[in-house]
Amino acid sequence: MTDNFEVIIVGGGIVGATTACALAQGGINVALLDMFNPQRQWTDDSVDLRVSALTKASQNILETLGVWEGMAQRRISPYKDMRVWDGKADGELHFDCADTEFNELGHIVENRVTVAALWDKLETLPSATCISDAKVSQMQMAEKGRTLVLEDNRKFTADLIIAADGRDSSLRNMAGIDVTGWPYQQDGLVATISTEKSHQLTAWQRFLDEGPLAFLPLSDGQCSIVWTLKTTTAKAYLKLNDVDFLEKLEQASGGILGKMQKTEPRAAFPLRFQYANSYTDESFALMGDSAHAMHPLAGQGANAGLLDAAALAELVIKTKQQGRPLSSKKFLRQYERWRKGDNLLMMSSMDVINKTFLATALPLISLRSIGMNIINQTPLIKKLFNDHAMGLRMDLPVLAKKQKCW
C-alpha cells in the first residue's frame, strides 16, 4: 500500500514546516514527514537552547501564513538596537530601529516556538498531512515522481520530494548530490544567561580572538548567547563549573552587561561552510541547511532557509496553477537559480567577515576598525547594510513582501 501526495517534505523543522504551510494553503496535497512530534508545551521558566534572530522578511512570511500570532502567544523577543564592536580595537557599528520605518530590527525567537506554531497551523489545513514517526530508509524513482520507503516499510510517493532534513541530510546523500565545504574548526557554544544589567532590547556582539560573542535579548530579561570558539576551547568550557564559566564569559563580554549572574545548561555545535553542488535533481529539491550551512555570526541561517521555503512554495503553486507537472525540471531550475546565488553571497560574506576578525596582524586589525567606523558614520552605506540584514532586499519571494502566493 503506497500513499500518494503531490509533494512530500522530509524534515519538520522551521524550514520544512513553513514550506508545508505555504503549499497546503496554496491547495497542494502535501505530506510533512519527521522522526519526531515536536514539543508544543513547556514551563514558562524554560528557554530553548536554540534561538533564531528572525528578520522582517521572515516575519512577513510567517505572518502571511497565519503562524506569527501563535508564536507571539508563546513568546517572541523584539530587539530594537544592534551593537557590534571589535574586542581588539576601537571599531564599532550601531544599528537602531529609530533609523528605519519599523518599531524593531527583528525578533529573537526560540526555535521550538516557531516549530510549535507551524505544526499547530498545519493541523488546521485540510490538504496537509503530518507524519511524525517517519524515518526514511530508501528513496526510489517512480513512474511519476519518487517513492520514499520508511524503516517500517511504509511507502509514500509524490511528484516532488523536498529535503529539509538538515546539514547532514540523508535524502541529499540518497539523491547522490555532493557538497562543497570545510569545517571552521570552531564551535558555537550556546546557553541562556542572566546578567546584572538590562540587555535594553539590544543584540550585542563582540569580536574576540577565537570568534564573536553574541548576547541576544529575551523577553524575560535573560540573554541567549552564541559564543564562537575554537572547538577545543568550546569543549573545555562545557566542562567548567557554572562559576568558572560565568567568569570567563564576563571577561569576554568586556563588562558590557555587568556581572554574569546565572547560566542554564550549555551546549556546543560544530560550525561548517557547506553548500550542495546542486539544489535540485529529477523530482527532488533541497532547501535550508540541507542545501547550505553558513557561519552563525549574523544569525542568517534560518532566514535564508525561510526565503528558500517561500521561493519554492511560490514556484510550486504557480506551476500547479499553470497546469504543469510538479516534477517539471523548468521550475526546479528556476528555484535553484533564484536561491543559490543569494545564499552563496550571504555565506561568502559571513565567511569573509569571520576570517577578517580572526586576523592577528596589527595593520589588518587597524584597517577593519577603520572600515567599521566608516560604515557606522555613513548613513547611506549603513542603511544598505541594515536593510540587507533585515532581509529587505531585491528579488524577494512574495510571501516575504507580506503577499500571498496562492
Residue ending a domain, among 271, 299, 321, is 271
Residue 313 lies in a domain: yes
Amino acid code (one letter) for 252:
A
The answer as to whether 98 is a domain residue is no
Find out whether 303 and 56 touch, Cβ atoms under 8 Å. no
153 touches 246 (CB < 8 A): no
Q: pLDDT value at position 389?
A: 86
* Shared domain check, 134 and 172: yes
Q: Is residue 372 part of a domain?
A: no
* Domain-embedded: residue 377: no
Please count the structural domains in the chain: 2
| 326: amino acid identity, one letter | L
Give the Cα separation of 38 and 369 in Å (integer). Answer: 44
Q: Output the domain CATH number for residue 305.
A: 3.50.50.60
**Residues 343, 279: Cα–Cα separation, whole Å:** 11
pLDDT attached to residue 48: 95
The contacts of residue 136 (CB under 8 Å, 6+ apart) are 10, 33, 148, 149, 150, 151, 170, 171, 174
Question: Is residue 52 domain-shared with residue 121, that is, in the same domain?
Answer: yes
pLDDT at 297: 87
Asked if the structure places residue 57 within a domain, the reply is yes
219, 347: one domain: no
Chosen domain end from 224, 241, 271: 271
Q: Burial, 231: exposed, middle or buried (Cβ in 10 Å; 0-12, 13-18, 19+)?
A: middle
Q: What is the DSSP string of 131-199?
A: ESS--EEEEEE-SSSEEEEETTS-EEEEEEEEE---TT-HHHHHTT--EEEEEEEEEEEEEEEEESS--
Domain check: are 35 and 171 in the same one? yes
C-alpha cell at 67: 503562524
Both 15 and 162 in a single domain? yes
**Is residue 375 domain-resident?**
no
pLDDT, position 393: 85
Counting Cβ atoms within 10 Å, is residue 55 exposed (0-12), middle (13-18) or buried (19+)? Answer: buried
Whether 67 and 140 map to the same domain: the answer is: yes
* 28 and 123 together in one domain: yes
Residue type, 393: R
Report if residue 162 sits inside a domain: yes
Q: Are residues 160 and 194 in the same domain?
A: no
190 located within any domain: yes
Whether 307 and 397 share a structural domain: yes
- Dihedral sign from CA coordinates of 283, 143, 17, 51: negative
Q: First and final CA of the chain: distance in angstroms?
A: 32
CA-CA distances (angstroms) from residue 241 to 230, 244, 248, 263? 19, 6, 11, 10
| Rounded-to-integer distance, Cα 176 and Cα 197, Å | 51
- Is residue 42 located within the same domain as residue 109? yes
The residue segments making up the domain with residue 189 are: 185-271
What is the full per-residue pLDDT of the chain (406 aa) written as tens digits? Answer: 679 999 999 999 999 999 999 999 999 999 999 999 999 999 988 999 999 999 999 999 999 999 999 999 999 999 999 999 999 899 999 999 999 999 999 999 999 999 999 999 999 999 999 999 999 999 999 988 999 999 999 999 999 999 999 999 999 999 999 999 999 999 999 999 999 999 999 999 999 999 999 999 999 999 999 999 999 999 999 999 999 999 999 999 999 999 999 999 999 999 999 999 999 999 999 999 999 999 998 889 999 999 999 999 999 999 999 999 999 899 999 999 999 999 999 999 999 999 999 988 888 889 999 999 999 999 999 999 888 889 988 899 999 999 999 9
Q: What is the CATH number of the domain that holds 231?
A: 3.30.9.10
pLDDT of residue 57: 97
H-assigned helices in 34-98:
56-64, 68-74
| Domain end position, chosen among 247, 271, 295 | 271
In this predicted structure, what is the pLDDT of residue 300? Answer: 92
Rounded distance between C-alpha atoms, residue 315 and residue 327, angstroms: 12
Against a cut of 0.85, is the pTM above it? yes
